[in-house]
Amino acid sequence: MASKPVVWITRRLSDATLERAQHDYETIINWDDTLHSPEKLVEMSGKVDAILPCHSEHFTADLVEKLDSRLKIVANHSVGVDHCDLEALAKKGIVVTNTPDVLSDATAEIAMLLMLGAARRAVEGDRIVRTGQWDFWSPAFMVGKQVSGARVGIVGMGRVGQAFARMATGFGMDVHYYNRSRLSPEKENGATYHESLESLLPLSDFLSLHCPATAETKGMMNADRFGQLPDGAVMVNTARGALVDEDALIDALHSGKLFAAGLDCFVNEPGGNPKFAEFDNVFMLPHIGSATVRTRDAMGFRALDNLDAFFAGQTPKDKL
Ligand code: DGY
């Protein structure tokens, strides 16, 4: 019997994923779930046919150049691939895949949670009750911003953006979006298209970011763009920290331009930006958009489907 391809699984994936991977491949699994150095990625590339990484492993151009020619495919356990220099990997002849579709609902849920929590002052309210400081109540106490029936602007109407739009519609929100191209009426589902951010931002009482981090979108939400939002807007980011100029966001929070922000992504991960911690009106989560059992199983299986196709001599469904 021909030997099985060797796959390095860089992080602790779901039990079901690891079980299937161990059954179908010769695996090297990072049971300790530690983060790897670039040197480790280079070292492992000489020992395996495939790497199944997460967005925490950075395949920069410099690193890719050093990868061993044994490595044939990087089957990402993520939809975002901003951690991979795709051009460098293609030049090296390494196939790259991702896991679209399967995490859209879970990520959109977190965007809804952040939007609601930021608007309705969840951080402050929780802290007051939790620390025994709740000694007062009045109709003027802890008044927030109502989500249902409000207007929301979505930047990036891909699969996650569309899932978020469906949920926002369920809250009776007036949904507007900016995307590189207009969606079909079926996918648009009643949302209003804007050809530019300049058109979308001034009416986005709530703003939710759902586009990938690319050279064009990095730092997209800068001081100028925050200035274009309505006073008292709420911004939510479940996409990538790199989309936001965090100093500009802090200024917008300080000045009161923004009522609140909900963040699942930060420029620096893991860790985030300690400056946000001084704001009660910033609701933060540690990049857990896709962190449900069902979705993590689906992501793992999708990555394995891509490996299966590749090693069967076919084009993987999610080849980039
Ligand atoms: C993704 O899939 O891109 C999520 O951010 C988790 O990595």
End-to-end CA distance of the chain: 31
Q: Whose CA is nearest to atom 4 of ligand 1?
A: 78
- Dihedral sign for Cα 176, 178, 184, 187, please: negative
Task: Check: CB of residue 96 under 8 Å from CB of residue 73.
Answer: yes
- Dihedral sign for Cα 10, 13, 16, 17, please: negative
**Ligand 1 probe mutation, 13, 76, 78, most atoms within 8 A of CB:** 78
Q: Whose CA is nearest to atom 3 of ligand 1?
A: 80
Residue 63 DSSP SS3: helix
In terms of Cβ atoms closer than 10 Å to its own Cβ (0-12, 13-18, 19+), residue 271 is exposed
CB atoms inside a 10 Å sphere around CB 154: 29
Say what the pLDDT of residue 247 is. Answer: 98
Residue 139: CA count within 13 A, CB half-sphere: 0
Say what the pLDDT of residue 127 is. Answer: 97
Say what the pLDDT of residue 1 is. Answer: 56
Which ranges of the chain would DSSP assign to H, the alpha helix?
A: 15-24, 38-45, 61-66, 86-91, 104-119, 122-130, 159-170, 185-188, 197-200, 223-228, 246-254, 293-311
Name the CATH topology of 104-284. Rossmann fold (3.40.50)
Q: Which residues of the chain have pLDDT under 70?
A: 1
Say what the pLDDT of residue 225 is. Answer: 98
Domain 6-102+293-311 superfamily per CATH: NAD(P)-binding Rossmann-like Domain (3.40.50.720)
Say what the pLDDT of residue 170 is. Answer: 98
The two structure tokens encoding residue 74 = 């990087």
Digit-coded pLDDT (tens) for 112-128: 999 999 999 999 999 99
Ligand 1 pocket residues where CB is under 6 Å: 54-55, 78-80, 103, 289-290
Residue spans of the domains in the chain: they are 6-102+293-311, 104-284
Which residues make beta-bridge pairs with 284? 263
Which residues make beta-bridge pairs with 262? 236, 283
Active-site annotation, residues:
240, 269, 287
Task: Check: CB of residue 231 under 8 Å from CB of residue 257.
Answer: yes
What gap in Å lies between CA 305 and CA 74, rounded to an integer?
Answer: 13
Say what the pLDDT of residue 53 is. Answer: 98
Say what the pLDDT of residue 296 is. Answer: 98
Q: Whose CA is nearest to atom 6 of ligand 1?
A: 78
pTM of the model: 0.95
Q: Do domains 6-102+293-311 and 104-284 have the same CATH topology?
A: yes
**Ligand 1 probe mutation, 290, 296, 297, 299, most atoms within 8 A of CB:** 290
For 283, the enclosing helix (H) or strand (E) is strand 282-284
